[in-house]
Amino acid sequence: MTDPTSRAKTWWLLQALSGLALVLLLGVHFVAQHYVAQGGLRTYAQVVAYVRHPAVAALEAIFLVVVAVHAALGLRAVALDFGLPAARQRSLNAALAVGVVLVVGYGLWLLAQVRGGAG
């Protein structure tokens, strides 16, 4: 039985839009790390100095959130491709939401640690 209150369109659009955002964010991520930062980020000190810039930290945080959401929606699509019934979709959504929170939480914690010059 399919779900008459399905948000299938919303999920598909969110995946498409997050994907398009990732193309831009990933481009900036690559270019900033390998070209704008002189000689690329090689040493520990260079990495710490780089992420201490507020704009860079904000960019990396946004990138992390978008990539985590996009990946979760991708995994959800694969699960549904294998005929996941509507009754289990709620559990899958919850599990993926927890995964996104964990990944984003860990990533932000790591960012804060590095910005603080941990180690």
Partner 1 sequence: MSSPSTVQLRVFRYKPGDPAPHYDTFAVPVTPRTTVLEALQAIRRDQDPGLMLRHSCHHASCGTCGLRVDGQEVLACVTPLADRGPVVTVEPLQNAPLLGDLVVDMGPFYAVFTQAGMPLVRSTEATAASRPAVGIERLTRFENCLECGLCVSACPVAATDPLYLGPAALAAAWRVVQEPRGQNPARALAWVDQEHGCWRCHLAFECSTVCPNDVQPGQAIAALRQRLVLGEPAPPGPAAAATRPAPAPTGPARRVGLRAWLDPRGRDVGYWAFVLHRLTGLALVAYLLLHLWVLRLLARGPAAWDEFIALARSPLFLALDGLLLFGVLFHGLNGVRVALVGLGAAARRQRGLFWAVLLLTLLLLAAGVAALVAAVH
Give the shortest CB-74-to-partner 1 separation in angstroms.
Answer: 5
| Residue 101 in the binding site for partner 1 (CB under 8 A) | no
Residue 105 binds partner 1 (CB under 8 A): no
User: CB of residue 7 vs partner 1: minimum separation in angstroms?
Assistant: 9
Nearest to 13 by CA among 69, 93, 88: 69
Q: DSSP assignment of 4-58, as one string?
A: TT--HHHHHHHHHHHHHHHHHHHHHHHHIIIIISTT-S-SHHHHHHHHTSHHHHH
**Residue 26 binds partner 1, judged by CB under 8 A:** yes
Does position 2 interact with partner 1 (CB under 8 A)? The reply is yes
Q: What angle separates helix 54-81 from helix 86-115, to the nearest 10 degrees?
A: 160
The residue within the footprint of partner 1, chosen from 28, 75, 93, 95 (CB under 8 A), is: 75
For 43-47, the CB contacts below 8 A with 24+ separation are: 44/119, 47/114
Cβ 104 to partner 1, closest distance in Å? Answer: 10
Q: Exposed, middle or buried, 31 (CB in 10 Å: 0-12/13-18/19+)?
A: exposed
37 is an interface residue for partner 1 by CB under 8 A? no
Residues forming the site for partner 1 (CB under 8 A):
1-6, 8-9, 11-13, 16, 19-20, 22-23, 26, 34, 40, 42-45, 47-48, 67-68, 71, 74-75, 77-78, 80-83, 85-86, 89, 103, 106-107, 110, 113-114, 118-119
